[in-house]
Structure 1
Amino acid sequence: MKKYRGVFLKNEKEIGLLREANRIGAIILDVLGEHVRPGVKTIFFHELTMNLCKQFNVKPAFLGLYGFPYSLCCSVNEEIVHGFPSDRVLKEGDIVSFDVGVLYEGFYGDNARTFTVGTVSEKAQKLVDVTRESLMLGIEQARPGNNLNDVSRAIQEHAEAHGFGIVRRFVGHGIGRKLHEKPEVPNFVPHESAGLPLKAGMVIAIEPMVTEGSYEVDILDDNWTAVTKDRKLSAHFEHSIAITSDGPVILSLSD
């Protein structure tokens, strides 16, 4: 495995293993989404993820990582990321974000989606749609000849053009044999950064977290759950992608 400015460049075999890890994670997200409805306790999604990981013979990457106690992050409404599954019951009009990671043959998959619960407000639907669109626009810029700031700028400009905020406290990351590798992948353009030139062989997880109001964050008493400071809604989408000579390839797609 080669290194470029501290970033591990993956070869074809390694990208293949990362593709399979992410494919499995995407299938798990598909199944989770099928069970999103009013009346479901969010702890159900932890149990379902554990069972699906057993079926696919993979390990839930988040369980025990840095002390995190669940198999997935389950964040409802004002919760941005790292939310705990619990006895909280989903209600009509909620939005819920699932962040799922798996470990497959020594390589990690990492992807996230926000789902709507029943019929949601126009503002909530727009937030979810714009967050997903921001991710895809960022992915389009992840190609050799560009730099990391091109990815960040595409995400930030689209979200802010619609009046939404971009969370600064949490960013995307490289991914491979470790869940979190270099480089950090901000969803905004850091003023002090010239931007890392992108190179074929990089594999990164891009994950915009977009807020209805302020991008400022509070951490709850569980020392994990991040919520919007103004308690307005937040949405989260993530894909793991490989940067190739032909452009970006999304690894976290199900069949």
Structure 2
Amino acid sequence: MTITQEDELDGMKEIGRIVANTMHAMSRAMEPGMTTRELDAIGRSLLEREGALSAPEASYDFPGATCISVNEEIAHGIPGDRVIAPGDLVNIDVSASKNGYFADTGASFCLSPKRTQLDRLCRDGKRAMQIGIAQVGAGKPLAGIGQAIGRFATARGYTLIRNLASHGVGRSLHEYPEEIATWPMRDERRRIDKGLVLTVEPFLSTGGRWASEGEDGWTLYSDPCAPVVQYEHTVVATERRAIVVTLPG
């Protein structure tokens, strides 16, 4: 989606606030002993209260209102009977629509007792996302996002999952530009249009390079096996900077 009118930006900010509030409320409610299905039910209730529809459920018939991935699961985890345990690494990804506008956000959380390596990975994963967002602006190269994140990851000794990309969003969950690399891509020549709505969501790892699909047809795992974190915002490109619409409020 490319925003050209103020009411379109207002619509994106409304759904962005809803998914952000939902994701953060789920993170605050999460505790050892609860199942991922129970956590998902909290997210569903919050979305319904705001008159929003789960995007993965409505768009792709995903078996849950939100995606919850634990430890070895790195994305698209199906809410179910898995019990969240102390020290787990949990990713919560919330995307939804309201009044024809879609927004997408996600974050990874380390439950106490926190392991030093995972805690550092979480901090650096969030920083990698922020570095990518700083490259978003009208007229700037799309490749700049992946180049900047790649430099940061290499300098810190991390790898990036290279088949899970950022994407356009706004009028649907995934739209043009459908594949925005969050790793260096030499042959990427596209530029960012003013008003373009997109996600920035690097998957930072201590060794993983690819996402492989599990037997359930949804859940993704790191190959080679290694911890992975994901942080994601939906942003709008302007002439000066990126407007982050997935902020709680």
Q: CA deviation at 1:203?
A: 0.8
Paired residue type of 2:185: P
Could you tell me which residue of structure 1 aligns to residue 50 of structure 2? Answer: 56
Could you tell me which residue of structure 1 aligns to residue 248 of structure 2? Answer: 254
- Are 1:11 and 1:201, in contact at CA under 8 Å, matched by a contact in 2? no
CA distance in 1, matches of 2:73, 2:243: 29
Could you tell me which residue of structure 2 aligns to residue 89 of structure 1? Answer: 83
Could you tell me which residue of structure 2 aligns to residue 3 of structure 1? Answer: none
- Are 2:138 and 2:238, in contact at CA under 8 Å, matched by a contact in 1? yes
The C-alpha deviation readout for 1:50-89, integer Å capped at 9, x for no partner, is 1111111111111143231111111111211111111111
CA distance in 2, matches of 1:251, 1:64: 21
1:156 aligns with 2:150: yes
Q: TM-score, normalised by structure 2?
A: 0.95
Q: CA deviation at 1:111?
A: 0.3
CA distance in 1, matches of 2:3, 2:14: 18
Could you tell me which residue of structure 1 aligns to residue 27 of structure 2? Answer: 33
The C-alpha deviation readout for 1:220-241, integer Å capped at 9, x for no partner, is 1001111012332111110000
CA distance in 2, matches of 1:29, 1:250: 15
Q: Which runs of 4+ in 1 moved over 6 A?
A: none
1:121 aligns with 2:115: yes
* Residues 121-130 or 56-65, more deviating: 56-65
The C-alpha deviation readout for 1:19-53, integer Å capped at 9, x for no partner, is 11010000001110111222121111221111111
Q: Percent identity?
A: 27
1:236 aligns with 2:227: no
Q: TM-score, normalised by structure 1?
A: 0.93
In structure 1, the gaps of 5 or more residues are 1-6
1:99 aligns with 2:93: yes
Secondary structure of 2:108's aligned partner: strand
- Are 1:160 and 1:166, in contact at CA under 8 Å, matched by a contact in 2? no
- The one of 27, 36, 39 aligned to 1:42: 36
CA distance in 1, matches of 2:145, 2:5: 22
1:211 aligns with 2:205: yes
Change (3 A) 1:161 1:78: farther
CA distance in 2, matches of 1:218, 1:117: 25
- The one of 185, 188, 201 aligned to 2:183: 188
Paired residue type of 1:152: G
- The one of 7, 11, 14 aligned to 1:17: 11
Q: CA deviation at 1:151?
A: 1.1
In structure 2, the gaps of 5 or more residues are none
- The one of 57, 60, 69 aligned to 2:63: 69
Change (3 A) 1:36 1:160: farther
* Residues 63-72 or 99-108, more deviating: 63-72
